[in-house]
Structure 1
Amino acid sequence: MQVSITGRHVELTEPLKAYVNDKLQHLKHSFDHVVDVHVVLSVEKFRQRCEVGMQASGVNIHGSHETEDMYASIDGVVDKLNRQLKRYRAKLRRHQNGGQREGREIKVSHRVLDIAHDKEELTEDHQPETLRHEQIEAKPMSVDEAVMQLELGSRDLLFFTNGQTEQLNAIYRRPDGALSWIEPEAA
Structure 2
Amino acid sequence: MRVAITGRKVRITDSLSERIEKKLSKLDKFFESDALAEITITKERSMNRVEITIRNGGLIFRAEDVAADPNEAVDKLVDVLFRQIRRNKTRLEKRLRKDAFAEINSLLPQEQEEPEQKYRVVKSKKFPVKPMDVEEAILQMVLLDHKFFMFRNIETNEINVVYCRKDGNYGLLEPNE
TM-score norm. by structure 2 comes to: 0.54
Q: Please name the residue that 1:114 is paired with.
A: 132
Rounded Cα–Cα distance in structure 1 between residues aligned with 2:153 and 2:164: 26
Q: Please name the residue that 1:167 is paired with.
A: none
Between the two proteins, the alignment pairs up a number of residues equal to 117
Residue 15 in structure 1 maps to residue 25 in structure 2: no
Output the aligned Cα RMSD: 3.7
| Aligned-pair identity (%) | 23
SS in structure 1 opposite 2:86? helix
Q: Please name the residue that 1:41 is paired with.
A: 41
- Write out per-residue CA displacement over residues 117-161 of structure 1, whole angstroms, 9 at most, x where no aligned residue: 7xxxxxxxxxx97333448xxxxxxxxxxxxxxxxxxx979xxxx
Q: Please name the residue that 1:91 is paired with.
A: 91
Rounded Cα–Cα distance in structure 2 between residues aligned with 1:156 and 1:76: 30
Q: Please name the residue that 2:155 is paired with.
A: 131
Native 8 Å contact 2:85 2:92 kept in 1: no
Native 8 Å contact 1:38 1:52 kept in 2: yes
SS in structure 2 opposite 1:132? coil
Residue 114 of structure 1 deviates from its aligned partner by 1.6
Residue 113 of structure 1 deviates from its aligned partner by 1.9
TM-score norm. by structure 1 comes to: 0.51
More strand by share: 1
Q: Please name the residue that 1:32 is paired with.
A: 31
Name the amino acid aligned to 2:41: L
- Structure 1 segments of 4+ aligned residues over 4 angstroms from their partners: 173-176
Name the amino acid aligned to 1:132: T
Gaps of 5+ in 1: 95-110, 118-127, 136-154, 158-172, 177-187
Name the amino acid aligned to 2:90: A
Native 8 Å contact 1:113 1:132 kept in 2: no
Gaps of 5+ in 2: 95-128, 137-151, 167-177
Rounded Cα–Cα distance in structure 2 between residues aligned with 1:156 and 1:79: 30
Native 8 Å contact 2:51 2:65 kept in 1: yes
The alpha-carbon distance between structure 1 residues 58 and 112, as it changes in their structure 2 partners (threshold 3 A), is farther
Residue 89 of structure 1 deviates from its aligned partner by 2.6
Native 8 Å contact 1:9 1:42 kept in 2: yes
* Greater Rg by CA: 1
The alpha-carbon distance between structure 1 residues 112 and 59, as it changes in their structure 2 partners (threshold 3 A), is farther
Q: Please name the residue that 1:184 is paired with.
A: none
Residue 93 of structure 1 deviates from its aligned partner by 4.4
SS in structure 2 opposite 1:49? strand
Rounded Cα–Cα distance in structure 1 between residues aligned with 2:46 and 2:63: 20
